[in-house]
Chains A and B, each alone.
Chain A
Amino acid sequence: MRQARTLSVRIVIYTFLILAAIYTLIPAVTMVLTALRSPQDLQMGPFTLPREFTVIKNFTQAWVNGRFNIYLKNSIIQTIPSVLIVISFATLAGFSFAKMRFPGRSVLFFVLLGGMMIPFQAVMIPLYFLFNRLHLIDTHAAVFLAIGVLGIPFGTFMMRSFFMSLPNQLLEAARLDGCSDFGAFVRVMLPLTYPAWVSLILFQSMWSWNNFLVPLIFIFTDELRPLPLGLMFYSTRYTTNYTLVAAGVLITIFPLVILYIFLQRKFISSITMGALTG
């Protein structure tokens, strides 16, 4: 599409974009400002201009009394294994769907496709029952197993698309050189998966980190709460001290936002790759 040339058209475009950007940012800016103020200063309401700032105090209180240090630790403990599960299982399966033949390949692929559509609500009660039996309720494992395994279909899909985009000549060349099939996979294909892995890691991490419903169903004690759950219960306790809640909010979103700022393009492309390949 041609870029607009006339000045008036450009003014209209940029005005609109700037207004939309302001609209997008206002909620975030408010949250940041609220986290910086003191509760007394906030008496006038969260959307007035601040005068008194007590940043350090707010954050240390949220971190220690609010136990956000524990929630952060739990989020990490629950995210990393789920990402590992997806990466390892999905890479193997994705490669197989892309570059290998085996009986039932199309059937299984269809199953996988269906798997991506399954809402968590469909499996949450039986999983609750299953984890109950396995005595995994209220453990980190319940969360990262559920989130990890439910992320496998999509991850497989993504890896399959990726492997399909890799030229077959590479494989054939490797085999001609005397590689075993497995060796061809490991020595030729795997090293190339780095960009796809980055995308998948970002995608799965974000989904796991932000997940609220899975830990809500499986985690009950405060000790094991990840950030979203911890934040929710924290906000219902600190009913009148919004500054602390805002500090908690910032702690919650901080890791992903930092990643986002440094990896903008990659982040955006990996999250949207989902919808396009789907």
Chain B
Amino acid sequence: MYKRLLLVVVAILAVSALVFAGGQKTKEAQVVLKVWDQFLETDDAQAGSLKAIEMMGANFMAKYPGVKVERTPMAVEEMTNAFKPALAAGKGPDIAYSEMGVGFVGPILKAGYLMDLTPHWKERGWNDKLYSMAKDIPTLAGVTFGIGHELEFVPIYYNRNILAKVGLPTQPKTMAELEAGADKLLAAGYIPLGWGGKDWWYQSNFTTSMIWAFVDKDKIDAAMYRGASWKIPGVQEAIDTAFVKWAKKNFYIPNPTAIAANEVDMMFVQQKAATHVTGSWDINLYVTQVKDFDVGAMLFPPARSGKPFNTVSFCGSGYIVNSAASNPKVAIDYLDYVMASEEAAKIWIEVGNKLPPYKNKIPGLQVNEYLQDTLDVLAGQEVTPGLSMTCPPEVMSFLQKSAAMVLTNQITPAQWVEEFERLWAKGRAEGMTRDTFKF
């Protein structure tokens, strides 16, 4: 009798294991398009893009009855971890909105899990309708595997009221002018640069922006795309200025290496920090939380007068397609609508506060003031795609922690350059950069 009891227990175990191990989805009659993206519902700052993508989904399903778009939203870090095993298990989505850096996408592409979209770019006319950056970034060894999406810019957002009060120009023309302005802000009792060095993206973005401001564009391009050395004039100066000079002058929120994103947001919203050194993805933060002051955008000025402004941009995330997508045509139709239709582009900008790579002019477009500011400020400027698009994963890691290292005197700016150069060379040797990648 007890033997049977034991068998029952084991059976329960086995059954529960099977029940919970297997997938929960049942077969549906219509075509289901599985999309993984990063538009989460619980995050206030993403509310706009969530609404936008849902609207687009509804419109798409209206245009294509018989197709159901099933979205699974997840955060960046989750996507990075989830995608590879899901693909390997055959449980990957049809389409994923993910980061497109070489380090991440490289191995996946090599293993053959991504659809080659080069023919579709031609057939669907994306080559004409979208900015070339949206194609260049997701292209490795001649294979275009995705569509780059949000054009994100990293200006310096500022509190108009404070700057006006202290009597500062809203676009310094050189770094020297910026520093002078920061000195004035400090004297007036404000935190000049709303930046914190604990979170990884604050470190990498700010470092990149500073390098962009100090180094000529063609030298950056040569180093990023053609393997030239990073030991070029300006790099060390940028690191020294940002993390030695300005730190000594107390331009940042006190104890910057312990300040995370929420504290930075808090300082800016509470008008203790005069500027917010973040990217255009934070526009939604201003829309929802900034009530008593105006926010403007300024560019990182060049280090010397006479040198043109050079702003870093990211087209870091975008849509990629599973080579084993159950219904490829439907997948491409979805992308064609979401990325290359005027209707969708309008929704992205007006509802989502995000800039899609759609080139053509859209009649009757209503842009929110913050986004408009950003666009105005960027009009006609030199823009270079940022490092995270092109650098090997170890360089990315380094960028995500090295600001704190210099700030806490663990390495000197000269050592920073050495290490940066060394890691780039290592990444190139492993085929982890845009130009060294091969199948």
Interface flags, B12-25, vs A, CB<8A=1, else 0: 11001100111000
Indicate if the CB atoms of A77 and B20 lie closer than 8 Å.
yes
Residues of A within 8 A of B41 (CB): 65
Q: A77 contacts which chain B residues (CB < 8 A)?
A: 20
Checking A128, A187, A236 against B75 with a beta-carbon cut-off of 8 angstroms, the contacting residue is A236
Which of B13, B78, B88 makes the CB contact (< 8 A) with A132? B88
> How many B residues have CB within 8 A of the partner chain?
35
Q: Evaluate contact between B42 and A88: CB separation under 8 angstroms.
A: no
A93 at the interface (CB under 8 A from B): no
Q: Which residues of A are found within 8 Å of B42, using beta-carbon distances?
A: 65-67, 234, 237-238
A221 within 8 A of B: yes
Residues on the A chain within 8 Å of B249, using CB: none
CB-CB < 8 A to B82: which residues of A?
Answer: 138, 220-221
Q: How far is the CA of A76 from the CA of B42 in the complex (A)?
A: 23
Cα A134 to Cα B2 in complex, Å, equals 33
Is the CB of B28 closer than 8 A to any CB of chain A? no
| A138 and B91 within 8 A (CB) | yes
Instruction: Report chain A residues within 8 Å CB of B429.
Output: none
Give min CB distance, B333 to chain A, whole Å. 25
Would A135 and B10 count as touching, CB distance under 8 A?
A: no
B20 touches A140 (CB 8 A): yes
The answer for the CA separation of A65 and B260 in the assembled complex, in Å, is 24
B272 to chain A, nearest CB (A): 13
Q: Which B-chain residue is minimally distant from A190 (CB atoms)?
A: B2
A139 at the interface (CB under 8 A from B): yes
Residues of chain A within 8 A (CB-CB) of B78 are 220-222, 233
The minimal Cβ–Cβ distance linking A75 to chain B, given in whole angstroms, is: 13
Segment among B183-191, B261-269, B415-423 that sits at the interface with chain A: B261-269
Within 8 A of B (CB), among A71-86: 77, 80-81, 84-85
Residue in A135, A140, A183 whose CB lies within 8 Å of B89: A135
Contacts of B85 in A (CB 8 A): 128, 131-132, 137-138, 220
Contacts of A142 in B (CB 8 A): 21
B113 CB, nearest partner CB in chain A, Å: 13
Complex Cα spacing A265 to B299, Å: 63
Are A135 and B91 in contact, CB atoms less than 8 angstroms apart?
Answer: yes
Closest to B41 in A: A65
For residue A41, give the distance in angstroms from its CB to the closest CB of chain B.
15
Within 8 Å by CB of A237, from B9, B40, B90, lies B40
A271 contacts partner chain B, Cβ-Cβ < 8 Å? no
- In angstroms, how far is the closest chain A Cβ from the Cβ of B400? 15
- B13 and A81 contact, CB distance less than 8 A: yes
Interface hits, A165-189 → B, CB 8 Å: 182-183, 186-187
B residues sitting closer than 8 Å to A (CB atoms) are 2-3, 6, 9-10, 12-13, 16-17, 20-22, 40-43, 72-75, 78, 81-82, 85-86, 88-91, 260-262, 265-266, 289
A-B contact pairs, 29 of them (CB 8 A): A65-B41, A65-B42, A66-B42, A81-B17, A84-B9, A84-B13, A132-B88, A138-B82, A138-B86, A138-B89, A138-B91, A139-B22, A140-B20, A141-B21, A182-B2, A186-B2, A190-B2, A220-B85, A221-B72, A221-B74, A221-B78, A222-B72, A222-B73, A233-B78, A234-B42, A239-B260, A239-B261, A240-B266, A240-B289
Seed contacts A136-B21, A220-B74; 7 additional CB < 8 Å A-B pairs: A66-B42, A67-B42, A88-B6, A88-B9, A145-B17, A187-B2, A221-B74
Top 6 A-B residue pairs of the complex, sorted by shortest distance between their CB atoms: A220-B82, A141-B21, A239-B262, A137-B85, A140-B20, A186-B2
